[in-house]
Chain A
Amino acid sequence: MSEPQPKVKKPRGKAHLITGKCIACGARCQSVCPVNAIEMNDAGEPIVIPEKCIGCVKCVKICPASALEMFFTPEELKILEQLAASAAPAEEEVDEEAAALAKKLAAYRGVWVFVEQTEGEPAKVSWELLGAGARLAASLGVELCALVIGDKVEHLCTEAFAHGAAKAYLLDAPVYRNYRTEAYLEACCHLIATYKPEVVLMGASGMGRDLAGAVATRVATGLTADCTGLDIDDKRNLMQTRPAFGGNIMATIMCDKFRPQMATVRPNVMPMPERKEGATGTIVRVDFVVPEESILTKVMEIIRDATSKGHVDITGADFIVSGGRGMMAPENFAILQELAEELGGVVGASRSAVDAGWMPGDRQVGQTGKTVRPKIYIACGISGAIQHLVGMQDSDMVIAINRDRQAPIFEVATYGIVGDLFQVVPAITKRIRELKQQQSTH
């Protein structure tokens, strides 16, 4: 054993704000500071009081914008250099708290996907989630499990296996026939308490959000809404990425001290996994039945929305061909309709086209209209005012057709065509028709 060395106190430094980087996230640094060394100014930016700061680095770690850093005086830097030169062993504090936490988290294993169904009919997003869940399960080296709750829904377990699940927890009883928050909440909480999954994914649908919010509250864990990206970090934690501030920025959310880590994901965001016909897995039948008398909410009726011809829901469309002021007249929207029909899509409009009375108000895309996220958004004769852009910029692909090369719409376009839409749009329609014809003759 070496001689005990005289202890040199390692300087811890003081936190300080890097000018211009603070985003006023909501006083996280102030809240996390154990010694109240941080005050907020009117703009919501922190003011670190150096006399109070103990250099615990908590605020630096929590800042989402990396706007805080540690500051050392020249004297302190000197001591740090000396310590580094003498290669004194770093004082590793054995953190009992961290060890206990790690033990608690390790009790949870497995990735779960809630299989949403209405009257036995599955929601597509469930299979998309199995695709995303499979990647997470592979990174974690754990099983991908489906959570099937309903009445006479065993067939959904088979479907789940075909979409990648290795195991399905099945709760099959009349009380689960119609979705009711209470019944499903009890069922999920029972399963989570019994089998302890580390990740639970649900669709960001009406039902999924209703259930996820209730379950996360009951089990007192974190829940991240509407994730567009899911990944695992080097400490087995789920990195949940979602748009914030109307899609202007992306945020990665962590829930590293609680299990399960719960997230909802919007339909159509994750790619559909390839269906493996005949794939099998383990069905775990769970005999947990909530007594019907204890469920106070009753579903009286489920009314399927009529898909009448007159009503067009642009928010659900995969392809939208939109027209703006450049369409010149209402009858000209016929060329957009033709293209939309070839694509199996719908026609949308900018505010100016709606204000001019060329298209009905329910087709309007934008700040005062609807937000759309189609696979392809084709903007024809739309200049692209910011109010329009916020309504369509999250589309997977944006194609802009406009005569004015300087139009802001080209800033958000994946592909831009500078030209006369009255020539370009029919040419696109014609080309698609040709391709379809070639396919049908082969």
Chain B
Amino acid sequence: MLVVACIKQVPDTTQVQIDPVTNTLVREGIPFIVNPYDTHALEEALRLKDRFGCKVAVLSMGPPNAEATLRKALALGVDIAILLSDRVFGGADTLATSNVLSAAIRKLNSEVDEVGLVLCGKQTIDGDTAQVGPGIATRLAYQQLTLVDRIDNLDVGGKRIRVSRKLEGRHEIVEAPLPAMLTVVRELNRPRYPRVPMRLAAADAQVEVWNNQVLKLDEQSIGLKGSPTWVSKIFSPERAKGEILGDGAADPEGTAALLIDKLLAKDMLPL
């Protein structure tokens, strides 16, 4: 059985700032990281390898420099690392992205080994959409199990899985046959760190690059052309101009009353 983990290289978004003068993104020197949720997907794939001897393939779609992300996965012990990179993949929304990823999984399934599980992080921290995982499952007609926080049972021979899904205010215990696509949350596991020998070995390991000559997808269904959604405008979020109330140092009581009046006027208090 082949386990596929999908990972994305993302900018460390919390460090992205807007230049107040030009109103554009300041992007110099922003470090790239593996999407944090995807590290848990990768870790779970590696644990399945440890337990059942499954082969693990890691996929990432992105620009050529995303190879670094896949090299990190190789250092952790994955067997196959594939970068899906092509100019025609560029500008993709989630619909077009899931097309490329599912095509690559199909190819692995027919050429390497039968895919039993596809693991994705629950969402990325740059797009935050949580749409690519369901997109992959739907395109491949795999069972879709999102927000998994525990794998209760995996029967590799019998091709069944039982998981716990973390939803709002509840958990669901769900059973499904394989192949299945799981999106995972942080509670699932604690990702490992690469050990030095593996890191050294990974330095020589090969990251395969698949472009569209390999996948042979219709150019109308990938990249910008295959994306129904597009960004028409970006702007800075409006922030109500703040206000300093009263003289809190000299008159704490009066200032507190001033604040409460403001909140009451805006109907913000649970009174």
Residues of A within 8 A of B (CB): 20-28, 30-32, 62, 64-65, 118, 123, 178, 181-182, 185, 205-207, 209-210, 212-214, 216-218, 220-226, 239-240, 243-255, 257-258, 267, 296-305, 318-319, 343-344, 367, 375-376, 386-387, 390, 396-397, 399, 401, 403, 405, 410-420, 423-424, 427-428, 430-432, 435-436, 439
Contacts and interface: CB of A to CB of B under 8 A. Distances in A.
A385 to B, nearest CB: 12
Given A222-B93, A296-B143, A436-B271, A427 B244 contact: no
A244 B125 CA distance: 10
Contacts of B170: 118, 302-305
Contact of A248 (B17, B146, B166): B17
Contacts of A27: 87, 90-91
B146 A210 contact: yes
A12 B40 CA distance: 52
A218 B138 contact: yes
Contacts of A304: 169-170
B239 interface: yes
Contact of B130 (A185, A209, A255, A436): A209
Interface in B55-108: 87-88, 90-91, 93-95, 98
B87 A30 contact: yes
A244 B124 CA distance: 11
B156 interface: no
B173 A181 contact: no
Interface in B204-261: 223-225, 227-237, 239-240, 242-249, 252-253, 255-257, 259-260
B146 A414 contact: no
A238 B175 CA distance: 38
| 7 cross-chain pairs, A with B, having the tightest CB-CB distances, nearest first | A419-B248, A213-B134, A222-B228, A31-B224, A427-B256, A222-B229, A225-B129
A419 B230 contact: no
Output the residue of B14, B17, B162, B167 with the most chain A CB within 10 A.
B14
A386 B14 CA distance: 9
B173 A416 contact: no
Contact of A207 (B167, B174, B237, B242): B167
A169 B147 CA distance: 28
B173 A299 contact: yes
Nearest to B236: A249
27 contacts: A22-B24, A31-B87, A32-B91, A62-B230, A181-B134, A182-B144, A210-B147, A217-B134, A221-B95, A223-B131, A225-B129, A244-B234, A248-B236, A248-B237, A249-B234, A249-B235, A249-B236, A252-B232, A298-B174, A305-B169, A375-B268, A403-B249, A410-B244, A417-B256, A417-B259, A428-B260, A435-B264
Contacts of A300: 162, 173-175
B133 interface: yes
Contacts of A28: 90-91, 224, 230-231
B91 A432 contact: no
Interface of A is mostly: mixed
The number of chain B residues touching the other chain, given as a range, is 35 or more
Contacts of A181: 134, 137, 143-144
B217 to A, nearest CB: 14
B14 A387 contact: yes
A413 B242 contact: yes
Interface in B107-153: 125-135, 137-139, 143-147
A213 B133 contact: yes
Nearest to B257: A431
Given A223-B94, A298-B174, A418-B248, 5 more contacts: A182-B143, A213-B130, A225-B128, A296-B177, A303-B171
B136 to A, nearest CB: 9
Contact of A250 (B27, B95, B235): B235
Given A65-B24, A299-B172, A299-B173, A32 B17 contact: no
A223 B229 contact: yes
B196 interface: no
A62 B264 CA distance: 44
B203 interface: no
Contacts of B249: 403, 418-420
A270 B247 CA distance: 35
A25 B231 contact: yes
B16 interface: yes
A396 B266 CA distance: 12
